[in-house]
Structure 1
Amino acid sequence: MSSSEHWRRQGNDVYASVEGGMAPSLQIQRFQKAIQCYQKAFDVAKTEADSSSAAKNIGRASWRCAKVHAASGAYLSQYCYTLLHLCKEALKNFSFAYIRGFNVMPHNWVTDILSSCRACWEDVAENMLNVLDIDLRCQALYDVTMAIEIKEIKGEAFYKLAECHFQRGILAIQNKDFKKCLCVLRDCYMPLNEAERLSHDTHTKSKVKVLEADVQMHMSMAESMQARQIGDEMFEAVVRNEETLNIDMVWEVIDWYKQATLRTRNITEVELEAIAVSRIGRVYDRVLKLKQRAKDYYKLAVELAHAMSPRTFVQEDWYIEATQVLAKYQSETVQSEEKQQNLEKAEILKELTGEMKQLKELENKDNTEFLTFIYKTFPPKKENQCLVLPTSKDDDWRKKMKKSMQRAVIHYHPDSVDEKMHGKKWKVLCEEITKCCTRRYEYMTCLFE
């Protein structure tokens, strides 16, 4: 019996003495003693077979010891490093046993080592390290991955490490911390490249491609947020120095915001694009005073927000700003149009002085005389619009007269006038006639009801 085999047997005896009902501290103590025996067996090994067997036993005992640590509160900060050390030792020795024993040990033995190493890795990644803080987990995964020497398992470990970094990036971008996001996502590239290089199965390679696309998408999102913040900082500087406006800086601000939109357009991140577009509108509104350009950009921002329905942004500052400015512009446009219309109407009323005098003289006339006069003097332009008056013999004369006045309102209403065909002058006159008819109709309504 070789010295290595002697120490392995001693270690096996100690290893076998561990029972499930024992206190965790006693289990850990015995596993550590077994590991010491296996380590001595490894140190005195003379052949590849002996060193492979010893390494396998160290890996197995380290894995079992790590599981006991994990079950007994090893996730507390003071135990994390011990747990991590045991995980690394288990995977390192399983890898050594597989590589050194591949050509000297039976096929079943080699296959069993590969299965044990994979099971150990999955247990470490999914159960032991997965409950750690995300930042600590990434560091632990890196250390564990570097301890693995079996290519296919190392490739899976690198992919898991890239996933962990990606999750850190997601958390950072959710917290609007684009600087950390950019830094963390760049850490994904090395493990992704290694995962693709070491893995040979198409499933893993496919997962790597998908994750690479996700990383690139979130990189673009973070870069968009970065460009927007640079633009925001420069915009504030422009506003503070408004008395000495630096027009070159203003255009640079717009360029940064446009850069923010371009970063998101390729990944269809509509919200970030809408925010950047609204910022461009702000520059045109507050600094350059180009209302139409500002209106176009604000309108686009609101349209992009509506395109994300059923999501709503009514509480977001950029959406509130866009809608308020658009409402202000709309109000100004309406007021301007009304002012222009009133000026035009005033000029036309000067031309209608005679007609207005005639309408004024009709105020003291009864409804029959009033309607007879306007239909005769200012007949409606449509052939089927004629005056129908009730006779004094009608029992429901009041109701029919009210109906006649209502028809007059319809016949002369300015909305029914074709301005292109009959001109603005006729439309304004119809508006004044409609006012007179409406007053009489309302008076009859109050009087008869």
Structure 2
Amino acid sequence: MEKQMPRTSSKTNRSKPKQDEGGGSTRTRPESQSQSEPNQAGDSATSESGSAKTRKKGNEKYKMALRDGIPPLIKCSRLEDAMKAYIQAANTAFGPTRSVDWSSAMKNYGMTNKRLAQEFKKQEEMNLDSSFIRSLSAFKESLKSMSEAFLEGLSCQPLSWRLKIQEEIEDTYLEILEVANLLELKQKFIELYRVVNLLPPGATQAMAKFHIGDAHFKASVRLMESGEYKKCLDHLHNIHQLVEEALSVLAKLAKANTGLTLEYEDLDHDLQTLKQDTLYHLSTAESLQARKCGEKMLAEMLENHEHLNMDVVWDIVDWFKQAYLKAAELDLEQEAAALSFLGLVNEKILFSTVKTKSYYKRCMELVDAAQPKTFLTETWYQQCVTGYRKIQDAERRRDEAAQSRERQEVLENLTAEISALNKANTSAGELLAHIYTHHAPTKGRKLTDEHLKEFWENEEQPVCSLEKKKARKKILLKAFADFHPDKFSATTVEDETEEDQKERKVLSEEIMKMLTRHHELLKMD
């Protein structure tokens, strides 16, 4: 239906476009919230003007549209008739009361358009495939009209009128948000960005920017989880300006009103939280991006290892270091992954065992810190475990070889003692007698002479009972305690050199081998 649009004054330079046809949402507010009569603030000041009289005619038509039992089609027709009256009232506003008349008419026009949009919404929510074009278009037209009326009325309307229209603007915006949340993500952002430009500067605009930023953030989290870090970064980069502008608006409101209300304090807190969360996810996404670049270059280099370009190698290292620094102390997983690849570069290309071990070790520490979360299926974790295990095995073999060489040198110095032990090792009793005669511990001896005598008596008997065998085993265990390498080598002897301590330790090891053999024979019997 064609509508006559209001004229705009030279003061405001505003024009009223034709109403687009459009659609709505799947949920509606209670009718009691929307059937309030358009506010007639300013009528007393303009009661004699033609614009005020025309506006009152529009109010009567608006009341007729909201009578109970009226079919939706007739209701919409009457609302459109009321809107025509309000447009005519705005177009006929002139003279000293022009601003009051124009802002009042446009406010009522916007409220009526909002009520019409709610009717469209009820009709469209019955259609599951609806795109809500009509209701969205009507809601945006309503929001635009009320925003223009609010800006025009700032200098001429009373405070109660301004507070009322601010409530209506916020309510209309929330209706639009409700419908936008039902759209596809791309279309949702298109609609929300259009709406935020229609809102007047203030708390509602700050709220709208928060909602857009929050939608960007949630979209970025989903994209991050699916590995689409480039699209994730696009969303995260869009949040900063929205949050800063919203915080700036709230700061101005706080300064003008000497503080924020509880509702706006909550919004300020939400904006600060969103800002911090965005910085965290931005670092994570940038870390992932840098690591993926390094991984791609590393894979190409390992496939073509015959032509090694060190400049490219250092570029790869730089990518992984950048990934590490971006995620450091923010995201354990990304930090550990970057360290794993730094270890791989040093292992496969730079052949720096010290750096390789350092990177792999730190990666394992971060994995432990991230528990109970596990990364068993991640490539970077598997290569870290494999590489670190190789280094540990190589170090263990090297240490064992060094210890073997050192032990062989000591054994050569103990040739006489070892030969005497071998000669005495004809029986357990002979061995015990020899070692406690020539190599008895100087302190804390467990096996006494009485134990030796008892052992000899049991050993001389051709057949021993089970109790006798258990007694012999216990005596051998006391000898184990006396000659255990850790205890035997730890006892100090006056004027003993380090070389003497090594010999005593090796000697105790040889004695323990012989005692263990006799103990095993007793168990077999």
The TM-score by the shorter chain falls in which range? 0.7 to 0.9
CA drift at 1:353? 4.2
CA drift at 1:140? 1.2
Name the counterpart of 2:347.
285
> Secondary structure of 2:107's match?
helix
| CA gap 1:142/1:445 in 2 versus in 1, 3 angstroms | same
* AA partner of residue 372 (structure 1): A
Residue range with higher mean Cα deviation, 41-50 or 293-302:
41-50
TM-score if structure 1 supplies the norm length?
0.86
Residue range with higher mean Cα deviation, 110-119 or 396-405:
396-405
**Whole-angstrom distance in 1 between the partners of 2:69 and 2:378:** 58
CA drift at 1:296? 0.9
- Asked if 1 retains the 8 angstrom alpha-carbon contact of 2:220 and 2:233, the reply is yes
- Asked if 1 retains the 8 angstrom alpha-carbon contact of 2:357 and 2:391, the reply is yes
**Whole-angstrom distance in 1 between the partners of 2:480 and 2:160:** 101
2:508 equivalent to 1:434: no
**Whole-angstrom distance in 1 between the partners of 2:457 and 2:319:** 82
Residue range with higher mean Cα deviation, 103-112 or 391-400:
391-400
Name the counterpart of 1:82.
134
* AA partner of residue 480 (structure 2): V
Name the counterpart of 2:160.
108
- Asked if 2 retains the 8 angstrom alpha-carbon contact of 1:15 and 1:34, the reply is no
**Whole-angstrom distance in 1 between the partners of 2:356 and 2:371:** 24
Name the counterpart of 1:52.
103
Residue range with higher mean Cα deviation, 241-250 or 45-54:
45-54
| CA gap 1:152/1:431 in 2 versus in 1, 3 angstroms | closer
Name the counterpart of 1:415.
486
Over residues 396-415 of structure 1, what are the superposed CA-to-partner deviations in whole Å (9 max), with x where a residue is unaligned? 65444333322222322223
* AA partner of residue 342 (structure 2): I
Name the counterpart of 2:431.
370
Name the counterpart of 1:9.
57
Q: Greater share of helix residues, 1 or 2?
A: 1
- Asked if 1 retains the 8 angstrom alpha-carbon contact of 2:196 and 2:209, the reply is yes
| CA gap 1:316/1:22 in 2 versus in 1, 3 angstroms | farther
- Asked if 2 retains the 8 angstrom alpha-carbon contact of 1:101 and 1:110, the reply is yes
- Asked if 1 retains the 8 angstrom alpha-carbon contact of 2:65 and 2:74, the reply is no
- Asked if 1 retains the 8 angstrom alpha-carbon contact of 2:340 and 2:360, the reply is yes
> Percent identity at matched positions?
28
CA drift at 1:213? 3.1
**Whole-angstrom distance in 2 between the partners of 1:260 and 1:43:** 62
Name the counterpart of 2:327.
264
CA drift at 1:283? 1.1
Name the counterpart of 1:301.
363
CA drift at 1:11? 6.8
Name the counterpart of 2:274.
211
- Asked if 1 retains the 8 angstrom alpha-carbon contact of 2:484 and 2:509, the reply is yes
**Whole-angstrom distance in 2 between the partners of 1:287 and 1:372:** 61
| CA gap 1:174/1:375 in 2 versus in 1, 3 angstroms | same
| CA gap 1:105/1:347 in 2 versus in 1, 3 angstroms | closer
CA drift at 1:183? 1.6
**Whole-angstrom distance in 2 between the partners of 1:142 and 1:20:** 37
Name the counterpart of 2:12.
none
Instruction: Count the aligned residue pairs.
Output: 444
- Asked if 2 retains the 8 angstrom alpha-carbon contact of 1:4 and 1:42, the reply is no
Over residues 12-49 of structure 1, what are the superposed CA-to-partner deviations in whole Å (9 max), with x where a residue is unaligned? 42563245666656654554454344334434444333
TM-score if structure 2 supplies the norm length?
0.75
2:378 equivalent to 1:316: yes
Question: Which of 335, 347, 354 lines up with 1:273 in the alignment?
Answer: 335
The 5-angstrom pairing of residues 317-332 of structure 1 reads 317-332=379-394
2:194 equivalent to 1:143: yes
* AA partner of residue 180 (structure 2): L
| CA gap 1:172/1:16 in 2 versus in 1, 3 angstroms | farther
Provide structure 1 residue ranges, at least 5 long, that are not aligned to the other structure: none
**Whole-angstrom distance in 2 between the partners of 1:316 and 1:161:** 34
| CA gap 1:15/1:243 in 2 versus in 1, 3 angstroms | farther
CA drift at 1:76? 5.8
**Whole-angstrom distance in 2 between the partners of 1:429 and 1:304:** 44
Pairwise CA RMSD = 3.1
Question: Which of 142, 163, 187 lines up with 2:214 in the alignment?
Answer: 163
**Whole-angstrom distance in 2 between the partners of 1:51 and 1:57:** 10
- Asked if 1 retains the 8 angstrom alpha-carbon contact of 2:489 and 2:504, the reply is no
Over residues 102-161 of structure 1, what are the superposed CA-to-partner deviations in whole Å (9 max), with x where a residue is unaligned? 444454333322222222223333x33233333322221111111122534333323332
* AA partner of residue 339 (structure 1): A
**Whole-angstrom distance in 1 between the partners of 2:444 and 2:148:** 105
CA drift at 1:206? 5.3
* AA partner of residue 323 (structure 2): A
> Secondary structure of 2:182's match?
coil
Name the counterpart of 1:235.
298
- Asked if 1 retains the 8 angstrom alpha-carbon contact of 2:220 and 2:231, the reply is yes
Name the counterpart of 1:424.
502
> Secondary structure of 1:311's match?
coil
* AA partner of residue 132 (structure 1): L
Residue range with higher mean Cα deviation, 288-297 or 349-358:
349-358
2:314 equivalent to 1:251: yes
Provide structure 2 residue ranges, at least 5 long, that are not aligned to the other structure: 1-48, 255-259, 459-464, 491-497
Residue range with higher mean Cα deviation, 292-301 or 27-36:
27-36
**Whole-angstrom distance in 1 between the partners of 2:457 and 2:275:** 92
**Whole-angstrom distance in 2 between the partners of 1:181 and 1:313:** 22
* AA partner of residue 38 (structure 1): Y
2:209 equivalent to 1:124: no
**Whole-angstrom distance in 1 between the partners of 2:342 and 2:476:** 55
Residue range with higher mean Cα deviation, 287-296 or 69-78:
69-78
Residue range with higher mean Cα deviation, 187-196 or 285-294:
187-196
The 5-angstrom pairing of residues 156-195 of structure 1 reads 156-195=207-246
**Whole-angstrom distance in 1 between the partners of 2:276 and 2:405:** 61
* AA partner of residue 522 (structure 2): M
**Whole-angstrom distance in 1 between the partners of 2:470 and 2:99:** 117
- Asked if 2 retains the 8 angstrom alpha-carbon contact of 1:179 and 1:226, the reply is yes
Residue range with higher mean Cα deviation, 43-52 or 269-278:
43-52
CA drift at 1:297? 0.8
| CA gap 1:400/1:290 in 2 versus in 1, 3 angstroms | same
| CA gap 1:4/1:296 in 2 versus in 1, 3 angstroms | same
| CA gap 1:441/1:54 in 2 versus in 1, 3 angstroms | same
**Whole-angstrom distance in 2 between the partners of 1:58 and 1:358:** 116
| CA gap 1:237/1:138 in 2 versus in 1, 3 angstroms | same
Over residues 79-112 of structure 1, what are the superposed CA-to-partner deviations in whole Å (9 max), with x where a residue is unaligned? 3332321221111111122222344445433332
| CA gap 1:13/1:148 in 2 versus in 1, 3 angstroms | same
> Secondary structure of 2:164's match?
helix
